[in-house]
Each structure stands twice: as C-alpha cells, then as structure tokens.
Structure 1
Amino acid sequence: MNHMPVATKDGSGNLDILIAGAGYVGLAAAVAIKSSRPNLSIAVVDAAPAGVWQKDGRCSAIAAAASRMLAQLECWDEIAPVAQAITDMIVTDSRTSDPVRPVFLTFDGEVEPGEPFAHMVPNTALNGALRKQAAALGIDILEGVAVSSFDQGLSGLTVHLADGVALKTKLLIAADGVRSKLRDMAGIKTVHWDYGQSGIVCTIAHERPHNGRAEEHFLPAGPFAILPLKGNRSSIVWTERTADADRIVAADDFVFESELEMRFGLKLGEIRAETKPRAWPLGLTLAREFIAPRFALAGDAAHGIHPIAGQGLNLGLKDVAALAEVIVDADRLGQDIGAFDVLERYQMWRRFDTWQMGVTTDVLNRLFSNDFGPLRALRDIGLGLVERAPHLKNFFIKQASGLAGPAPKLLRGEAI
C-alpha cells in the first residue's frame, strides 16, 4: 500500500512522536501536543480504512472539563452546533414491570452558571473536529496501515508498519483501543474480567421534547440510560445480559421497539429507532502499567470500564491532557520526551485515578445490576440520602464534570 510520506522538518522520516490510533484519544493527543510545541514532529497511524470513522453512529457524553479542553484546542466551535447540553438528570431504581418508577435522585445540570456539567456529542462531530485541527497543524494521519512491531534502540524506537515502511520515533503512544495490540507488543499485562453483559447502543426519535434531561434507570439486568440529543432524539445505552442483548438486537423492528418501550416508557410519546441497534460486550480492563521504555498507553488501551457512569471517553481525554502536559513541560526543559522518568510522571498522575474509577464503576454495576430485595432497599435509602444532601450532590456533579481534584491545565481550559 502507498501512503503519504511522513512530514518531518529534516525530511529524514524521523519523528518525535508516533501515535497509533486515530480515534478521539489519538487525535486529541496529537493536537494537544502539537498546539503547544509546533517544533515537535508528530504523525498518527491507524489500522482502520480511511473514512470508517464517518460511519460511527454513536454519541458520547463530553464532561465540562473535556469541553473546556476542546475549546482550548480550538475544536469546540466546530462541535457546539450539534452538541446537546444535559440540563438535568434523574435516577430511578425499579423493575421493568413496575407501573411507577419513583425518582430517587435528581441533579441540576450546571457546574457554573451557564456551563452544563456535560454535553452529548455525535462521535463523528468530535472526530471530524479533531481531524480538521490536526490537518491545520500539519499532522499526518496514515490510515489503513497497522503497526506490526517495534524495536527498542538507544535513542528511540523503530516502528514497523504492515506495509513495510519503518519509522523512527522518540516516543510511541498507543491509543488503539481496549484490545490494544501495541499493549501486548510492549509486554504490558492487564487485569480483566467480563461482566456477562452487553451494552445496546442506538439513537431513537420521539414525539415530545426531552428538554435536555438525562435519565438513568437501574433495572435488574443493568442500567438503562436515556441521553438527550439535538431535536426530539435521544441516545440509548441499554445494559442487558449478553444472551438477552444478542436476542434483542437480532429481533425485527417491531420486537425491538416493543422491548425498548417497556424500558423507555411513554412519557415522550411514540418512539422509534433511528439507527440500527448494536450490542457491545462489557468488561473491566485495566493495564497494570501505563508506560514502557519510550512507550505510553492512553484511552481505552490503558483502561476499559463499565459505561454506568458515562466516564469512558472523559477518562481518555484526561489521559491526553496529562500526557500532553508532561511531554510539553519536558520539551521546554530540553529533556528527552521519551525518557522513562518523563513518562513516569504521566503514569503517577493517571494510574491511581484510573484504577479508582474502574473499581467505582465495577462496584456500582454489581450493586445495581441485580434484583436482590434487601440490597435494593439499602441502595434506595442511599440514593434518598444523597438526594437530601446538597453538598453530596454538588460533589458528585463535580466528579461527573471532571472538575474535581488537581486537573491538568487543558481540563481547566488553560493553555499548557
């Protein structure tokens, strides 16, 4: 396969940074670093064929901190017209057959006046905005070519692509997803288990407006989330036991929409699926290490968690913000950006937070994905107590918005 030559200042083909994976994490890493350090030569390679990203019908929750970061990277103006603010959220705990679903917990949707704690954004809009900015910064994206291996040298890595091209780089960033091949090549082990659940994802249309409200229904098989999109449309993230999920997505439209209506209810009028539902197996995957010599993991390659808290994409963008800050600071100080002690700063920043979120989502899923009576009573009391404690609710909103704790500069909306 022939592809464009990698643009480097000296024409040698030697790179400062090579990123594997042209999803939102890989592209955001390239844009974040290049925006602050135009002197660094950066390229992105992706095994997926060109244009595949345009067929992604899914949508993602972008927390307020991630929105600030995207604004700082000059991408948010491109995304904003199709982004739907989440103005409030309700949480219920019930069975599918219950005639009434009492609301146990409500959240106001603002972290600051006029700033929602999250937006819903089509994946194509997010990816497209990052690609546009990458092109403006002169970052090459080589598509349809995988990394087949890489070798350690004295001052860098030699990365071999599947088409026979070899590139030399000071640092290789793996953002190639939860089943990362590069993570395996680097010899990094993971903690992993399956939940026996799958997440059904699709976009639905409904008669009445959602008014920006997000809903999370804890049902015995797992959480059923309704997330508002632009217009009278919503994104569904529906957790079921894997065998049931496979049956539901394989059913005809009538059966699928009947099953959907049992969970969704009639509050927004008639509903219909706008996109073909797909089921994604759910599990927990946490990398034991985030780095190796001249190598760093970011995004789902470092952590795959349950979608119960809607934090998957935002964890990946936190990785990007931290890694970019570490690399930029090191380059300003004249340090080797691929040196192990430089990368260790990134690992120390991100690994504990990631493991903490992984454990939290695991516990929440086990706590709520069951129909054990005494446990249901206890968790409903817990939800009720949080509802009556404004400070606790504010704490949870801050956590969900990504603005809690010592965040990297990009997540605070500041330049590195």
Structure 2
Amino acid sequence: MTHPTEETRDLVILGGGLVGMTLALAAAKKGMSSHVIDRADPAELTAEGFDDRATAISTASWHLFENIGIAEGLEEFACDISAIAVTDQNKPGRLDFVPGPDDGTLGRMFPNRRLRLALFEAAAKEPLIHWTAKATVTERQRSQYGVAAVLADGTKLKGRLMIAAEGRQSPTRDSAGITIAKWDYEHRAIIAGLTHEKPHDNVAWEIFYPAGPFALLPMNDDADGTHRSSLVWTVSEKDGAAVMKLGDRAFLAEVEKRMGGVLGRVLSVGQRSSYPLGFHHTAKITAERLALIGDAAHGIHPIAGQGLNLGLRDVGALVEVLADGARLGLDPGDPEVLKRYETWRGLDSFMVALATDGLTRLFGAPGKTASAVRRLGMAAVQRTPMLKNFFMDEARGVSGDLPELLKA
C-alpha cells in the first residue's frame, strides 16, 4: 500500500482553515481524496482563549455542515439569530428583519474555535483526507499532467487539482499571476466578546455610525446565566490604534455610549483583536489545474457578515462541478470542469461584494442629510415586505443559484 505522502490524490488543498477543511470534508463525502497542507499548528488554533471571534453561519452554510456530518456536534454551541435590528445611530426609524413562522432563523452564531474543532476532528477521522499541519510550501508545480506541492522538508505531495484556500494573502494566487482588484476602506474592525445586563433575545443589532457599523451579535449565555454578545466595531484606521490601547474601563464606556442601552449595562469585555478592512476581488478564480476559494478569491467588508458564507458557497459549487465531472469520467483538473466553477461563482461572489461595498459607502456617508436619507430608505424597506424578504434571503444565503450541498 502506498504511503499517503506518495499517493497522487484528487485535490491538493493549500490552506486548512475553515473553508479549506470544509472543502476537504465535502469532497470526501463524494469519494474524492485530498492532501490538505496548512502552516498553522491546529493545537494553537483550537486552544482555549486563542480567538474570541465568532461567525454568523447562514442557513445555507448550516445545510452544508449537515450534509458533511458536522452539524450535530456543533448544535449545542449555536446561538440562533431570530431577528436583525438596523438603526442609524440609534435614531428613530429602525428597520427590523424578523422571518416568518416557517422560515427558521436568519443564521446561527458560533465561536470560531468550535467550528475549527468540529472540522479538525472530522478531518482526522476521514481516511480520504491526508492532513499535513505546521508545513511550509516551498514550491507549487502545475502542468497539464498534474499538480504538486513541495514542502520545506522535501516532501512532495501530488494531486490532480490545486486549490488555493490560504485567505486574502494567498501566495498560490499570487504565484499563479492572477490579478486582483483591491482597495482599502481605511477602517479597522475591532472584535471582542461582551457580557451585559439584559438578555439579547436572539436579536443581532447593526447600529450605523459615520465611521462604520457597530454590530452586536448574540452568543449563548454562560453556564451561570451571564448574557453574552460578540462585538464587531468598525473604526477609522487613524483611530484604530488608540481604541485598541484604551484600558478596559474606558473601552467599556465607549462601547456603552454607542450601544444606546439596547443590552443594558456592559459588565465585562473579553480579549480585543483588530484587523484592517479591505475589499479585493480577483479577475478570475481558476487557472491551469488551479481553483481559488474563499478569501483567496474575494474579500468583502464584514458589514453583512457574509465572508465565510461566501467561501462556503464556493466549496459547495466546486464540489458539485467536480462530482458532476467525475460522473462523466472527467479529471478534477479538466478545463471544462473549472470553467463551470468560474462562471458559476465568479458572478455571484462579485454581486455580493458589490452590494456590501455599496452598503458600506451608503452608511459611511457623513452628515445630517445622509443620515436623513438613510432613515428614509430604511423606513421604505420596513414597509415593503418584498424588499425585506429579499434582504432576509440574502442573509440566509438561500438566494441565487445554490449548490446542492447548501440545500436542506
């Protein structure tokens, strides 16, 4: 029997984060084998307290987790988002998104650590996944015959299709010479866990300020009943360092001021992290025996919380075209297979990116007039069920040409 490192597998996935590992598991469910290569140490990524970040998983993404068998173990960590309240600086004229009785939730909040653990545990049990962690790729080879990744220790992992899943700084994308359009919003997102006095009642708050959105996302209560939410606060780049340096009490006071009392007093704030916000989109998401997924292909403003969900739609679409190709006897790296992925995902992800960029600019326009126009627009949406349903379907990720794996 050949050792996994000598075996030519269907996929060589560079990047074993949330998107890369979901792809490996989804491909395995369709009988496709993969090498997954990641720089990080999984023990560090899943350590208690490493990452206070949480992610909103759309309804469609949850179906994907159900279809690859990790939903059951995650269920207990989920906090449903049953409504979204949108306001312009807590002024009158708020917009509420509340799904109908048969529509289910608008998504579920999960600690990133729990998502990673579920994926890593499932991958460790899957014989079709050969996972190499703490590895550096020194050379990427692609030709008409196949692909290979050469590691720093000289190991060569071979396959038929290379997948770039390393995130927004993807070296695989850059070495393939794929051009990228990008601009910087000159803003930073500051992320922290909060405990607060009043229950959140499963409502996600999106409070818009001229510097950017201030979002409060519901998390499960602690075992002792302490109420928790995850904060994503957008500040201008020039204020970012100062806000990060504030002492806990001063930071709490600033947060409380912006919350307008919606969750009562803020009791404590967890570890803060921050990252710069930008938009990037590649001109194409495929090349010879190469496909880009997730942030390697597109990075959007977190205003709508769709970044990871967009990457998981890539996963569903790519697995579907690969499985359809395999049924016709096509190789995973076949240009026809990749072309279908390109046309399917290229436009959809660009439309989402465009919409979130437009929202960012609309809500970022300063001044009283802009605020009045926004509130007028929000009032119009509030009164128009069709528009509301459109936005809710977008949030749930169920609009557009959905891959099978993202359906119930």
Range of TM-score over shorter length? over 0.9
Partner of 2:158: 168
Shift of 1:150: 1.3
Letter in 2 for 1:44: V
Question: Quick one: distance in 2 between partners of 1:7 and 1:30?
Answer: 19
The reply on whether 1:27 has 2:21 as its aligned counterpart is yes
Partner of 2:224: none
Question: Quick one: distance in 2 between partners of 1:117 and 1:19?
Answer: 31
Letter in 2 for 1:170: R
Give the stretch that moved more between structures: 223-232 or 271-280: 271-280
Give the stretch that moved more between structures: 64-73 or 52-61: 52-61
The reply on whether 1:42 has 2:34 as its aligned counterpart is yes
For residue 51 of structure 1, the aligned residue among 43, 48, 58 is 43
Contact 2:93–2:375 under 8 Å retained in 1: no
Give the stretch that moved more between structures: 113-122 or 237-246: 113-122
Shift of 1:104: 2.1
Q: C-alpha offsets along residues 336-360 of structure 1, whole Å, 9 cap, x if unaligned?
A: 1111221111011001111111111
Shift of 1:103: 4.2
Shift of 1:169: 1.2
Partner of 2:181: 191
Shift of 1:114: 6.5
Letter in 2 for 1:292: A
Shift of 1:279: 1.2
Letter in 1 for 2:105: P
Contact 1:246–1:279 under 8 Å retained in 2: no
The reply on whether 1:383 has 2:375 as its aligned counterpart is no
**Aligned 1:299-378 pairs, distance under 5 A:** 299-378=294-373
Contact 2:14–2:37 under 8 Å retained in 1: yes
Query: TM-score scaled by structure 2?
Result: 0.94
Question: Quick one: distance in 2 between partners of 1:366 and 1:6?
Answer: 55
Letter in 2 for 1:283: G
Shift of 1:7: 5.2
CA RMSD of aligned residues (A): 1.7
**Aligned 1:8-407 pairs, distance under 5 A:** 8=4, 12-37=6-31, 40-54=32-46, 55-94=50-89, 101-109=91-99, 113=102, 115-138=104-127, 139-231=129-221, 232-407=227-402
Q: Please, which runs of 5 or more residues in structure 1 have no aligned partner?
A: 95-99
Contact 1:6–1:43 under 8 Å retained in 2: no
Question: Quick one: distance in 2 between partners of 1:341 and 1:148?
Answer: 29
Say which SS state the counterpart of residue 51 (structure 1) adopts. helix
Say which SS state the counterpart of residue 355 (structure 2) adopts. helix
Question: Quick one: distance in 2 between partners of 1:412 and 1:283?
Answer: 30
Q: Please, which runs of 5 or more residues in structure 2 have no aligned partner?
A: 222-226
Question: Quick one: distance in 1 between partners of 2:95 and 2:323?
Answer: 42
Letter in 1 for 2:111: P
Shift of 1:181: 0.9
Q: Percent identity?
A: 39
Say which SS state the counterpart of residue 208 (structure 1) adopts. coil
Shift of 1:328: 1.1
Say which SS state the counterpart of residue 116 (structure 1) adopts. coil
Question: Quick one: distance in 1 between partners of 2:246 and 2:381?
Answer: 39
Question: Quick one: distance in 2 between partners of 1:363 and 1:189?
Answer: 22
Contact 1:109–1:118 under 8 Å retained in 2: no
Question: Quick one: distance in 2 between partners of 1:91 and 1:186?
Answer: 41
Contact 2:57–2:108 under 8 Å retained in 1: yes
Question: Quick one: distance in 2 between partners of 1:373 and 1:221?
Answer: 14
Question: Quick one: distance in 1 between partners of 2:132 and 2:268?
Answer: 35
Q: How many residues align?
A: 399
Question: Quick one: distance in 2 between partners of 1:384 and 1:154?
Answer: 56
Question: Quick one: distance in 2 between partners of 1:321 and 1:161?
Answer: 28
CA 1:179/1:63 → structure 2, altered by over 3 Å: closer, same or farther?
same
Q: C-alpha offsets along residues 89-144 of structure 1, whole Å, 9 cap, x if unaligned?
A: 111002xxxxx63242101145x626212000111111111122222222222111
CA 1:177/1:256 → structure 2, altered by over 3 Å: closer, same or farther?
same
Contact 2:93–2:379 under 8 Å retained in 1: no
Give the stretch that moved more between structures: 380-389 or 269-278: 269-278
Question: Quick one: distance in 2 between partners of 1:236 and 1:7?
Answer: 46
Question: Quick one: distance in 2 between partners of 1:69 and 1:41?
Answer: 18
Question: Quick one: distance in 1 between partners of 2:115 and 2:92?
Answer: 35
Contact 1:149–1:185 under 8 Å retained in 2: no
Partner of 1:97: none
Shift of 1:6: 9.1
Say which SS state the counterpart of residue 16 (structure 2) adopts. coil
Letter in 1 for 2:37: V
Question: Quick one: distance in 1 between partners of 2:158 and 2:94?
Answer: 56
Which 4+ residue blocks in structure 1 deviate beyond 6 angstroms? none
Q: C-alpha offsets along residues 301-357 of structure 1, whole Å, 9 cap, x if unaligned?
A: 001100111110100000000001111111122111111221111011001111111
Shift of 1:296: 0.6
Contact 2:164–2:290 under 8 Å retained in 1: yes
Question: Quick one: distance in 1 between partners of 2:188 and 2:83?
Answer: 26
Q: C-alpha offsets along residues 290-309 of structure 1, whole Å, 9 cap, x if unaligned?
A: 01101110000001100111
Give the stretch that moved more between structures: 337-346 or 46-55: 46-55
CA 1:263/1:379 → structure 2, altered by over 3 Å: closer, same or farther?
same
CA 1:251/1:7 → structure 2, altered by over 3 Å: closer, same or farther?
farther
